[in-house]
Amino acid sequence: MESKSWRQNVDQFHSLLAGMVLTGRDGAVLDTDKAFTDWAGQTVKIRETNRSIYLIGNGASASMASHFSADLAKNAQLHAQVFSDLSLITAISNDIGYDQVFAEPLRRRANPGDMLVAISSSGKSPNIIAAVEVAREKKMTIVSLSAMSPGNPLRASGDLNIYVAAAQYGAAESAHAAALHWWMDLVQEWKS
């Protein structure tokens, strides 16, 4: 088996990040810097209006959701929440269905003006898509992060959609983490 070098890996990751595509709800490609700045501004407005940010994902994306929920709470003084309590996950999964594991708590807790950050490498996880539908009904701001297939349904579901053309989970997850860190840095630097 021929393996690539670390330098080739770094170059590939650089190419993925440089090729990241941000689109609006209408599918129009957005200027990357402006889109990130607008996202940070919306986040600060959520803080100023005592709204909440919900972050969701499965597997490694769930870990990212938890990580950035903690960063938003600690570093940006925002109310941020994930649905990672094992009792909640298993109760909803057992009694309602795993596809509702994020949608059901959002139905009960989210309010108009809140934000949902939905992270899915495949962009087609049924539980993520169901939560996005609830968020749309609740008039929340929706930010999606996806990868793999450019036609994945999550990529077209948010008010802001961040897509990276990564074919492997490691590259997709690393690129999503880089985007989320950049958002967090901008929020922390925001002058209100």
Of 80, 62, 61, 60, give the one whose Cα is nearest residue 70: 80
Using the predicted structure, report yes or no on whether residue 1 has a pLDDT greater than 70. Answer: no
Q: What whole-number distance in Å separates Cα of residue 40 and Cα of residue 103?
A: 25
Using the predicted structure, report yes or no on whether residue 181 has a pLDDT greater than 70. Answer: yes
Q: What whole-number distance in Å separates Cα of residue 87 and Cα of residue 103?
A: 16
Q: Any idea which of 3-7, 49-53, 85-89, 159-163 has the lowest mean pLDDT? A: 3-7
Please report whether residue 87 resides in a domain: yes
- Res 149: pLDDT: 96
pLDDT per position as a tens digit, 8-43:
999 999 999 999 999 999 999 999 999 999 999 999
- Res 15: pLDDT: 96
Token pair of 74, please? 């600690």
Please report whether residue 18 resides in a domain: no
- Res 103: pLDDT: 98
190 neighbors 44 (Cβ within 8 angstroms): yes
State which residues form the domain around 109: 26-189
- 3-class DSSP assignment, residue 46: helix
Please report whether residue 174 resides in a domain: yes
Please report whether residue 107 resides in a domain: yes
Strands 115-120 and 141-146: parallel
Percentage with pLDDT > 90 across the chain: 96
Using the predicted structure, report yes or no on whether residue 4 has a pLDDT greater than 90. Answer: no
Distances 69 to 15, 19, 27, 54, 140 between C-alpha atoms, Å: 28, 26, 27, 8, 17
Please report whether residue 14 resides in a domain: no
Q: The domain spanning residue 44 has which CATH number?
A: 3.40.50.10490
pLDDT per position as a tens digit, 37-93:
999 999 999 999 999 999 999 999 999 999 999 999 999 999 999 999 999 999 999
Domain count, the chain: 1
Q: What whole-number distance in Å separates Cα of residue 62 and Cα of residue 45?
A: 25
- Res 191: pLDDT: 59
Please report whether residue 19 resides in a domain: no
Using the predicted structure, report yes or no on whether residue 171 has a pLDDT greater than 70. Answer: yes
52-56 sheet: strands from edge to edge? 21-24, 160-163, 141-146, 115-120, 52-56, 79-81
Please report whether residue 54 resides in a domain: yes
State the residue for tokens 């539908």: 133
Q: Of residues 2 and 141, which shows the higher confidence score?
A: 141
**Buried/exposed code over 117-143 (b: 16+ C-beta within 10 A; e: otherwise):** bbbbbbbbbebbbbbbebbeebebbbb
Of 131, 127, 130, 70, give the one whose Cα is nearest residue 93: 127
- Res 160: pLDDT: 98
Please report whether residue 130 resides in a domain: yes
